[in-house]
Structure formats: C-alpha cells, structure tokens
C-alpha cells in the first residue's frame, strides 16, 4: 500500500514457478513408516498428508515421529516431480538442490523426544500435473516398509541453500537468546480519543478498510461510516520519526494531530473503532529504529495509550521482512504489550499484514510467523496483501484477480494452520485478505467490482477473520475518468463512490 510519500508496496519479484487459478477441492493421504532394515537404520516414522490442492499447487505435511527410546534429530529427504517447486516450508530447516529437498530439525527444536512428533508443512507450486513427492528417505533409510519404491535420488553437486524456517541469514536462524522485554513505562501523553469500551457489532468488524492518513485533505472517516454502515477501519501508517525511536504518523506527524486520527472519538461515539497499522512500504518501521525490545515496546505503547487501542496491525514488507533482528525485537515487544494489556483486563488483538503470492506467503513471511509463535505473540489474524503479484506468478490477470486472491488465501490458510497447529476452521478464522482495488501498481492487474464480489462471497463461505482493501481513499472514480495506472485518491475505474466498500461490507 502506498501513501503520498511513495509508490505502493513492493517492486520485488520472487523467482517462484507456477501460477494460481481456480481452487480444486482435492486431498490425499499417503502413510509411510520406517522399520529397522539394518543395525544402523533409523527407527523414525514419516507420514505424508496432502492437506489441500488447487489447479497449480498444493499444501502438504510430513509428520516425523520418534519411536525410539532416546531423543534424536533427523534428516528427511524427498523429491518433487518435474515442473514442481517448493515455495515455502515451516517447522524445520531445508535445502533444495534441483528437485531434491533435504529437511532437518528447526533450530529451536534440534531433537525429538521419545514418542514426540513434528509436522513439517510445505507448499508446492507446479506448472504441470499436480503430483505428490516421491523418493522419501529418513536418516538415509527408506520411508516405506520393504524398501523405497521410488529409490533414493542423489542430490546435485551444486545445492542451493534455502533460508531456514526461522529468521533468515542476516542474523542467527533461531531467535537470539535475550532477556524478555520489560513492560513499557506508563506514558504521560494524554489520549487523543476515548478508549474503545466495546467492540462493534459482529457483522461490522468483518470489513476494515485501510485509510491513508498521510493524504490531504484528510479523509472524512465519520461521514463514510454514516453513509456505509462500516464501523471498523485500519489507519495507516505509524513509522519511526524524529530521528530515532519515536512514533509518528507517516514518520512525520505528531500523534496528537487532527486529521483522520482526530476523528477516532467521533467514530467510537457511533459504535465504531480503529486498528492502527505500524509499518508499510515506505519509511522506517519502529522495530528497525529502536535499539531494544523494551524501547520498542515503549514506542508502540505510546500509540496504544494515545488512542486507547485494543487492535493493532504490523505491516511488514520489503527489507523489513527479512531483518531477523528487527523481527525478533518486534515480537518480544508485542508479547510484552499483550501480557501487560491482559493484566489490565484489555486484551490487545494483533494482526500481521504480509506480502503474498498466489502460492502463499514467501519463506520470510512464514519465518516471521514462526518467530512470533516462539516469542509468545498471540496472533489474532494474518492479513495477506493480495496485490501486485507480477506476471511471472499471476499471468493474464484481467478478470482473474479475485481468483488469484482466493488462491493466495487458500495457500496461506495451510501455512497458518501448520505454523500455529490449528484446525481448518480455526485457521480460516485467523486469515484476512486485503486487495488493492482498481488498477494496481502492476498496471495489468486490475481488481474490479466482480473480483470484490467473488472474494467477499469466499470470505463469508469460509469464515475469514475479516477483509480490508487499499484503500478507502481510492474508493471513488477519478475526476478525469478511468485510467491505465494506479492513483492514490481514486481507483482508475468506472465506479460509483464507495462502491467497493458497499460490496465488501455486504459480504
């Protein structure tokens, strides 16, 4: 999402093969258990399950179980069919060489206790027939009783290392051992809006569009709420400003500014509320500017206190997504803020907004969620930015942006389910989706009204946590009519004012 300070979210391209199209309901189960074959053979179990499938990919698990009497690590190997590519993996580390995948334990769980098991989940994207892995080996032995029908494959001499499913190589793969952040001191800054005393009605918080607070004149939040019935909004973005670890709107404006934040009290008088988003594509996120978890918790806490917040969002993308040290500082700070809020009887709901492809979150996104889990963050929802995919992974997008958003949500649901150990229903209920309405920065990608209806119906049918859009400010026709490029204050489409808002709000 972009503001007046710069272009939209991301210009990166992930080198991931495969495209996304209509969702196909397909699951399969293959079970493989190792047995002792020689005196040195491993006595470990490896059970394979395909958890979800769609036209050009699938998600799956290998459940590795230690049936021995002592703690031990493992090496799991398997081969992907021709035309398939591993796009993400969680709960373990891995390397890919050609079609051969080698999996070893995560750094935070280097050994399995006797009788313990770990679910190694992953997403595969394919340009050909959707097919399961073959050649399963564990600790060098066959995964299937009586031998390995596929036969082992030798890894290519040139093996490409893939970032582990913990924060990437810019810092240690596992979260560094540090002291738990201390609670932020109480801030003396007066609140600019009364705290939320009650959540909006059940239906009204299922859609929470973004508002770009950096634009002038400020968006009339209260009038939009009265006109559409929407009562929950996401205000973007709070960044580091003042030359250091100081929260500022857009990295520039003080927290006590009027503008859109100055309307929060009036919105709450109507029964509404806001979620404030930290981060975004431009500027410096506070976790990159604050030197310690304690200082970062203080900075976040100033914003929470100023507006009496019960909901916050962390929009992490670009270089910030791969900054392992900042990721870990942020998670320690958030966990401390949540503990403090719970102790005060005002739980703090936290969402992470992350870039996505039709094949799901990229590996750094999965690693971010794993680190949050390890640091004790209660993640209320994972919001994916279904936008600016790029031609390589979303070809011929006109008329398919709704389908691509659904593919992205479906793949991410499997990742969220695996990382947090949730049921299917609970994983859907932790998922949110944010498209960029109208013409995207990748101008061939145009999210139209029909795409919005398709996504809204999917969200209702699958019980998603909420939907959003970038942005409410853009939900209107442009003064000069439709255009072939993205604009910050209109959609570049032929549309009625607030048309997308009404579509998403109606579900």
Catalytic residue set: 317
**∠ CA 449-453-459, rounded to 5°:** 140
* Residue 474: Cβ within 10 Å count: 26
* Residue 6: Cβ within 10 Å count: 12
Give whole-number Cα distances, 333 to 105, 182, 292, 481, in Å: 27, 8, 9, 46
Nearest C-alpha neighbor of 294 from the set 256, 247, 334: 334
Contact between residue 74 and residue 104 where contact means Cβ atoms under 8 Å apart:
yes
**∠ CA 480-481-484, rounded to 5°:** 105
- Dist CA 240 CA 183 (whole Å): 20
- Dist CA 62 CA 472 (whole Å): 42
Contact between residue 373 and residue 342 where contact means Cβ atoms under 8 Å apart:
no
Give the DSSP per-residue string, 185-201: PPP-PPPSSPPP-SPPP
- Dist CA 165 CA 278 (whole Å): 24
Residue-wise over 236-251: b if at least 16 C-beta within 10 A, else e? Answer: bbbbbbeeebbbbbbb
- Dist CA 83 CA 459 (whole Å): 31
Query: In the structure encoding, which two tokens stand for residue 112, read together?
Result: 């399995």
- Dist CA 248 CA 286 (whole Å): 10
């Amino acid at each position: 999402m972009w503001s007046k300070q710069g272009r939209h979210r991301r210009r990166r391209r992930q080198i991931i093969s495969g495209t996304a199209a209509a969702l196909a309901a397909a699951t399969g189960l293959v079970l493989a258990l190792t047995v002792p074959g020689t005196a040195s053979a491993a006595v470990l179990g490896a059970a394979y399950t395909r958890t979800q499938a769609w036209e050009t990919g699938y998600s799956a698990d290998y459940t590795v179980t230690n049936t021995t009497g002592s703690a031990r690590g493992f090496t799991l190997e398997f081969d992907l069919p021709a035309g398939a590519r591993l796009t993400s993996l969680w709960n373990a580390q891995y390397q890919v060489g050609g079609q051969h995948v080698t999996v070893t334990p995560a750094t935070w769980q280097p050994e399995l206790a006797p009788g313990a098991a770990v679910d190694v989940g992953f997403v595969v994207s394919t340009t050909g027939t959707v097919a399961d892995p073959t050649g399963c080996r564990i600790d060098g032995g066959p995964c299937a009783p009586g031998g390995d029908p596929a036969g082992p494959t030798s890894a290519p001499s040139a093996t490409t290392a893939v970032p582990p499913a913990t924060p990437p190589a810019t810092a240690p793969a596992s979260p560094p051992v540090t002291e738990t952040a201390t609670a932020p001191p109480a801030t003396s800054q007066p609140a600019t809006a009364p705290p939320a005393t009650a959540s909006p009605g059940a239906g009204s918080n299922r859609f929470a569009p973004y508002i770009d607070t950096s634009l002038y004149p400020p968006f009339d939040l209260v009038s939009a709420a009265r006109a559409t019935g929407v009562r929950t909004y996401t205000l973007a973005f709070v960044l580091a400003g003042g030359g250091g670890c100081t929260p500022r709107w857009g990295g520039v404006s003080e927290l006590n500014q009027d503008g859109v934040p100055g309307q929060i009290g009036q919105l709450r008088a109507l029964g509404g509320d806001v979620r404030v988003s930290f981060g975004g594509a431009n500027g410096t996120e506070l976790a990159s500017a604050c030197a310690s978890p304690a200082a970062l918790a203080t900075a976040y806490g100033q914003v929470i206190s100023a507006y009496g917040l019960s909901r916050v969002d962390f929009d992490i993308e670009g270089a910030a997504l791969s900054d392992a040290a900042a990721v870990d500082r942020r998670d320690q700070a958030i966990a401390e803020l949540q503990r403090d809020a719970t102790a005060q009887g005002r739980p703090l709901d936290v969402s992470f907004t992350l870039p996505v492809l039709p094949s799901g979150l990229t590996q750094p996104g999965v690693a971010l969620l794993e680190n949050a889990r390890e640091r004790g963050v209660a993640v209320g929802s994972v919001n994916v930015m279904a936008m600016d995919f790029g031609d390589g992974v979303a070809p011929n997008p006109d008329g398919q942006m709704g389908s691509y958003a659904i593919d992205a949500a479906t793949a991410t649901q499997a990742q969220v389910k695996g990382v947090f150990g949730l049921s299917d229903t609970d994983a859907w209920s932790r998922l949110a989706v944010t498209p960029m309405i109208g013409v995207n920065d990748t101008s061939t990608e145009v999210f139209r009204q029909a795409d919005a209806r398709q996504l809204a119906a999917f969200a209702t049918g699958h019980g998603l946590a909420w939907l959003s859009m970038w942005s409410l400010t853009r939900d209107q026709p442009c003064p000069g009519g439709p255009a072939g490029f993205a604009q910050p204050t209109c959609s570049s489409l032929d549309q009625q004012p607030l048309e997308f808002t009404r579509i998403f709000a109606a579900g």
